[in-house]
Amino acid sequence: MNSEIFKCLDENRLKTLEDKKKYILELLEYEDEAILKAKGINLNETSNEILFTTVFKSIGKNGRVVFETLCENGFFDKINESKKIPEILVFDGKLQPIFSYSEFLLEKIYVETSLDTDGDGKRDLIEVFIRRPKETLKGMKVPAIYVANPYMMSCNEEVYNNMHSVDKNLKKFCEKKIRYEDIKVKECKSKYYCESERVSKGEAKTSLAQDENLDCITEWYKYFNSRGIASVFSAGLGTKGSEGINCTGSKEEKEWTIAVIEWLNGKRKAYTNLIDNIEVKAEWCSGKVAMCGKSYLGTLSIAAATTGVEGLKTIIPEAAISNWYNYYRVNGVIGAPLEWQGDDADLLTNYCRSREYSDDNIELKKRYKKSISQMIEGEARENGNYNSFWDERNYLKDIKNIKASVFIVHGLNDWNVKTTHCKLLWDKLKKYNIPSKIILHQGDHIYIQNLKGFDFNDIMNRWLSYWLYDIQNDVMKTVPDVMVQSNLDSLVWEKSQNWPSKEYKDKVFAVDGERLVDNLKIKSLEKNDKRIGKFTDDIDTSGFIREIKNYGEWRDRLVLGEREKHRVIYKSEVLEEDRTISGCVKIEFSASSNKDRGILSAMLVEIGERRRLSVKQVITGEGKISLGRNAGTMDEVDFVLEESPSKYRVITRGHINIQNRKSSYYKSRVVPKSFHRYSFEMVPTQYTLKKGSRLGLVIYGSDVEITQRPFHKTVYFLDEGSVKLHLKIK
């Protein structure tokens, strides 16, 4: 135990064994010595240091680690009282909550970027909020958690009242072979680069500000504030309080994001306001920065890391996008996030433009309008191909540049930012030997900072202690590389070194006449049609009603319906034991159609009536999770079983534009009534099929929940003997 920690004990009260027992009971607020024995605390231990180390690591009456509770109550304040420059407190390999959140400084500064996106002849300034310990005024240097959050300064909600229409027929495109080199974005300076820096007219030590309500900022950062890490927030270009014009996924978005990190490292200027040019420096910062956040916030942490910016030591992307094409497109299909059909990059850009709606500058509004028109042209909704617009927004091609460690967090039931993003990112990180770990939970598009049975905060504390403070706590060895939550029991986590782990074996399921056969005894699929399966992509006879968008009824018919003409379905016999699918799911087959354009989809399902684990959460411990000294609490939550049994669960699905069977870059010619070979991956997953259920494979046309919804009818003929389903399974 640290000698400074030990000195905080009243040594005059530790002379006899009875003194120690009495003192420990007072510290823990217990009355009965038997309780301590039940906790494995040996009160007869002669070494005070060993005894109190055990006591401090134990769980107290409040259900929390004793040492942390004592820190929050000021028990260890003596450690910094005599020091000229205050320091953090480390115990058990992690940062401890000795800094009072209520006494933190709040600053607002304006970081100068290298861009002039709004055309006013000056470099754009972006507004940045900072919370740091008051102890930094005494010379203490601390690292920072930085969150780039375009939603933070409010958003234009009305933008999504007028989304792009998906109820339209597909266009046919002539075949024109394109190479990746033809669409690859060249590395060069932004066209908005501005050479001239502002001239500083003075310097301020601080830039104190009043507290403001920031949207989409979790309370979780308080947990690390009280442990000696500052938090830094910015909404960036084109948002309220900042200058410039934003553009989702662009090169300029990367540049404004890393500008804040560069300022924290003393390599860029910042000012106290937008006008006076009074400079303020980040002298309080050690130069070590972490980035994190969910969704767009986590996406920008990946974007920043791929620049290799100095000072960024680690990122924790949660439910984050690794390639914007994979968010809005898939294999040439307009494939939106579930429940967000009609969304696209131009709408998200407009949604985040809080500056435009708070600024009456006519010329600025013209620039906004022009930039949106350029985005719509670049994203090419009529085509759906991967092009230079999307290549600029593909972070995966730059993973080799990352110098930071990466801790991925993603929900296996996230159909907003699909697990495609974290799987592709994970594989690239492993390819380039970048220090990385991953947590896959059973939620959808959520944070898991307060999840029952999984001490996420303790893991993250050890992670950031190591990467931001160089505390040698063996986190790289003691925390598994991969942690996957079970869909059968929320308290069970599979731990391994890779995803999928070595336990999962490659299996190919093939339709052989009437059967889908493998060698794991997931037995034959019942199929009464002939070897050529026929189905018609006709949305208006599939049970889907466009006006009311009855997705659930449509899906029920797709999976459970009898003699449905808009799909073919194969079902295994009842499983004799649990089977788990992990990682990528790939399907390949040959099919013909009566048209020269169309969409093909595949869905993997578990069929069988039972109550399954849902993404719904309930509070299991009100205020159970402390965020630190004077920082408040969070409720503990857990996933719950469905209220009533469900007859099936969609495991995963995938899609392809039949003109993109060779490449996502271009459209190939489709010859009607001729068989063509199709191969595509479904969304990666990990899912355990329960004994007594059946595995189902559905092949169909348009997916009314995700793809474009054409009005025309397309008849498909499937060569059932060509169907191959590739899984990793155990």
First to last CA, the chain: 45
* Angstrom distance (rounded) from CA 433 to CA 365: 46
Across 309-341, b (16+ Cβ under 10 Å) vs e yields bebbbbbbbbbbbbbbbbbbbbbbbbbbbbebb
Q: What is the pLDDT of residues 587-628, one digit of tens each?
A: 999 999 999 999 999 999 999 999 999 999 999 999 999 999
Residue 656 and residue 704 in one domain: yes
Residue 665: CATH number of its domain: 2.60.120.260
Q: Give the residue among 461, 581, 629 at the shortest CA–CA distance from 91.
A: 461
Q: Is residue 417 part of a domain?
A: yes
Q: What is the pLDDT of residues 218-244, one digit of tens each?
A: 999 999 999 999 999 999 999 999 999
Q: Is residue 114 part of a domain?
A: yes
* Angstrom distance (rounded) from CA 492 to CA 349: 40
> CA 533: distance to chain centroid?
39
Q: Give the residue among 370, 381, 320 at the shortest CA–CA distance from 345.
A: 381
* Angstrom distance (rounded) from CA 151 to CA 164: 21
In sequence order, the β-bridge partners of residue 67 are: none
Task: State residue 515's pLDDT score.
Answer: 52
Q: Is residue 713 part of a domain?
A: yes
Task: State residue 599's pLDDT score.
Answer: 98
**3-state secondary structure labels for all residues of 437-506:** EEEEECCCCCCCCCECCCCHHHHHHHHHHHHHHCCCCCHHHHCCCEEEECCCCCCCEEEECCCCCCCCEE
Residue 141's domain spans which residues? 102-485
Reported as a pLDDT band with limits 50, 70 and 90, residue 106 is very high
- Write out the two tokens for 279: 């400079």
- Residue 631 near residue 229, CB atoms below 8 Å: no
Q: Write the burial class of residue 188 (CB in 10 Å: 0-12 exposed, 13-18 middle, 19+ buried).
A: exposed
Task: State residue 664's pLDDT score.
Answer: 97
Angle, CA of 565, 570 and 571, to the nearest 5°: 130
Query: Is the confidence at residue 496, as pLDDT, over 70?
Result: yes
Task: State residue 61's pLDDT score.
Answer: 79
In sequence order, the β-bridge partners of residue 678 are: 589
Q: Is residue 260 part of a domain?
A: yes
Count Cβ atoms below 10 Å from residue 267 Cβ, excluding itself: 13
Model pTM? 0.96
Residue 146 and residue 37 in one domain: no
Residue 23 and residue 151 in one domain: no
Query: Is the confidence at residue 130, as pLDDT, over 50?
Result: yes
Residue in the block written with tokens 């190591």: 466
Task: State residue 32's pLDDT score.
Answer: 73
Query: Is the confidence at residue 519, as pLDDT, over 50?
Result: no
Lowest mean pLDDT among 23-32, 127-136, 354-363: 23-32
Task: State residue 524's pLDDT score.
Answer: 43
Q: 90, 122, 149: which is the final residue of a domain?
A: 90
Q: Give the residue among 511, 560, 557 at the shortest CA–CA distance from 538.
A: 557
E strands within 1-124? 90-91, 94-95, 105-112
Task: State residue 513's pLDDT score.
Answer: 52
* Angstrom distance (rounded) from CA 454 to CA 459: 9
Strands 105-112 and 125-132: antiparallel
Q: Give the residue among 37, 41, 44 at the shortest CA–CA distance from 56.
A: 41
Q: Give the residue among 470, 519, 478 at the shortest CA–CA distance from 495.
A: 478
Q: Is residue 86 part of a domain?
A: yes
Q: Is residue 364 part of a domain?
A: yes
* Angstrom distance (rounded) from CA 311 to CA 560: 54
Q: Is residue 601 part of a domain?
A: yes
The mean pLDDT value for 4-8 works out to: 84
Count Cβ atoms below 10 Å from residue 514 Cβ, excluding itself: 15
Residue 34 and residue 171 in one domain: no
Query: Is the confidence at residue 112, as pLDDT, over 80?
Result: yes
Residue 54 and residue 130 in one domain: no
Task: State residue 12's pLDDT score.
Answer: 74
Residue 106 and residue 83 in one domain: no
Total tally of structural domains belonging to the chain: 3
Query: Is the confidence at residue 465, as pLDDT, over 50?
Result: yes
Query: Is the confidence at residue 521, as pLDDT, over 50?
Result: no
Reported as a pLDDT band with limits 50, 70 and 90, residue 37 is confident
Helices assigned H by DSSP within 58-201: 66-72, 78-81, 180-183
Query: Is the confidence at residue 159, as pLDDT, over 50?
Result: yes
Q: What is the pLDDT of residues 645-666, one digit of tens each?
A: 999 999 999 999 999 999 999 9
Radius of gyration from C-alpha coordinates of the chain: 28
Q: Give the residue among 155, 139, 81, 144 at the shortest CA–CA distance from 107.
A: 144
Reported as a pLDDT band with limits 50, 70 and 90, residue 79 is very high
> CA 228: distance to chain centroid?
25
Strands 285-294 and 142-148: parallel
Q: Would you list the DSSP string of 311-369?
A: TEEEEEEES--SBHHHHHEETTEE-PPTT-TT--HHHHHHHT-TTGGG---HHHHHHHH
Active site residues: 295, 414, 445
Q: If you ran DSSP here, which 8-state letter would residue 208 be given?
A: B
- Residue 125 near residue 259, CB atoms below 8 Å: no
> CA 180: distance to chain centroid?
28
Q: 108 by DSSP, 3-state: which?
A: strand
More confident residue, 403 or 64: 403
The mean pLDDT value for 126-141 works out to: 98
Q: What is the pLDDT of residues 352-362, one digit of tens each?
A: 999 987 777 88
Q: Would you list the DSSP string of 360-426?
A: --HHHHHHHHHHHHHHHHHH-TTT----HHHHHTBGGGGGGG--SEEEEEEETT-SSS-THHHHHHH
Residue 198 and residue 240 in one domain: yes
Residue 448: CATH number of its domain: 3.40.50.1820
* Mean residue pLDDT across the chain: 93
Residue 539 and residue 599 in one domain: yes
Residue in the block written with tokens 């709040």: 106
User: Residue type at 467?
Assistant: W
Task: State residue 22's pLDDT score.
Answer: 82
- Write out the two tokens for 288: 């070590």
Q: 36, 56, 90: which is the final residue of a domain?
A: 90
* Angstrom distance (rounded) from CA 391 to CA 327: 13
Q: What is the pLDDT of residues 265-283, one digit of tens each?
A: 999 999 999 999 999 999 9
Q: Is residue 96 part of a domain?
A: no
Query: Is the confidence at residue 129, as pLDDT, over 60?
Result: yes
Residue 452 and residue 429 in one domain: yes
* Angstrom distance (rounded) from CA 474 to CA 274: 45
In sequence order, the β-bridge partners of residue 78 are: none
Residue 570 and residue 618 in one domain: yes
Q: What is the pLDDT of residues 188-201, one digit of tens each?
A: 899 999 999 999 99
Count Cβ atoms below 10 Å from residue 401 Cβ, excluding itself: 13
Residue 34 and residue 106 in one domain: no
Q: What is the pLDDT of residues 442-463, one digit of tens each?
A: 999 999 999 999 999 999 999 9
* Angstrom distance (rounded) from CA 703 to CA 200: 57
Residue 516 and residue 469 in one domain: no
